[in-house]
A and B are shown apart, each in its own frame.
Chain A
Amino acid sequence: MHIHAYEKLWLAASLLLILFLLGSVTYGAVGPGVAMVTDSEPAIDAGALDEDERFSEPRVEQVGENEYEAYVLAFQFGFQPDPIVVPENSTVTFYVTSRDVIHGFEVVGTNANTMVVPGEVSEITVETDGPAEYGIVCNEYCGAGHHAMEGKLEVVPQSEFDERTNGGDGE
């Protein structure tokens, strides 16, 4: 079979393009460590969150040297805690759940974005850089007040974080 020389060229180019796209995604997973939001967390009872060890009192907790866990509750129409305060240059894992309907948890302008489903816990781990202030919005239509459902994420210096967590609840 005779294949035109130009045709060989663009066949090769299209194969290269596919390899480049696959290679990029592989690089993202291996290099910067980009991960998907998984369903690794077991289901919980959305009607009994006030008895749940993590969500009865939504908060940010230190779990390792520079590791923090944020237990976030989404509801009609807001997020708790508000604001969510985390220290800079740390690893923060968000556990987000809903007590009523499906919500979204999107830290605006960042890649931190997940659905929040009642009865399920969405787990996302991110690494914070310097001090910053982000908005959080719900990106799943959740009712009449959906457009007003927002929260705030504050990445603050370590000293300020210690001050605010110790000052806040008298630990």
Chain B
Amino acid sequence: MGRNETAHGSANDVSGDIEEFDPIGTLTLIGIYFVILVLSWVYIYYIEFLGRDLVIVG
């Protein structure tokens, strides 16, 4: 059986935490995207937007 996303574990490793399929590359990429998104948002909102003068308060 090929190691792809539709691969099913064999009958004797269905239970337990052991995963046959281990997309660590995808997890790493998503982790990097996550960090980029959080850092950009912190910069855009907290530093660029709230840090500017004359914030509209009413």
Q: Which residues of A are interface residues toward B (Cβ below 8 A)? A: 2, 4-6, 9-10, 13, 17, 20-21, 24-25, 28, 32-37, 91, 93, 107, 109-112, 123-129, 132, 134
Question: B17: which A residues are within 8 A, CB to CB?
Answer: 5
- Contact check, B52 vs A6: say whether CB atoms are below 8 A apart: no
Report if A4-B19 is in contact (Cβ < 8 Å); known contacts: A110-B53, A127-B57: yes
- Contact check, B49 vs A111: say whether CB atoms are below 8 A apart: yes
Supplied contacts A6-B26, A24-B45, A35-B56, 9 more A-B pairs, CB within 8 Å: A4-B23, A5-B19, A28-B50, A32-B50, A35-B58, A110-B53, A112-B54, A112-B56, A126-B54
Instruction: Report how many residues on chain B are interfacial, defined by Cβ distance under 8 Å.
Output: 25
- Contact check, A125 vs B27: say whether CB atoms are below 8 A apart: no
Chain B, 2-20, contact with A by CB distance < 8 Å: what is the 0/1 string?
Answer: 0000000000001001010
- Contact check, B30 vs A10: say whether CB atoms are below 8 A apart: yes
Question: B38: which A residues are within 8 A, CB to CB?
Answer: 17, 20
- Min CB distance B50 to A, Å, is 6
Question: B52: which A residues are within 8 A, CB to CB?
Answer: 109-111
- Contact check, A6 vs B53: say whether CB atoms are below 8 A apart: no
- 10 A-B interface contacts by CB (under 8 A): A6-B19, A13-B34, A17-B38, A24-B45, A33-B55, A34-B56, A91-B57, A109-B53, A112-B56, A127-B55
Which of A13, A17, A25, A33 lies in contact with B57, CB distance below 8 A? A33
- Contact check, B27 vs A111: say whether CB atoms are below 8 A apart: no
Question: B30: which A residues are within 8 A, CB to CB?
Answer: 10, 13
- Contact check, B46 vs A24: say whether CB atoms are below 8 A apart: yes
Question: A107: which B residues are within 8 A, CB to CB?
Answer: 54
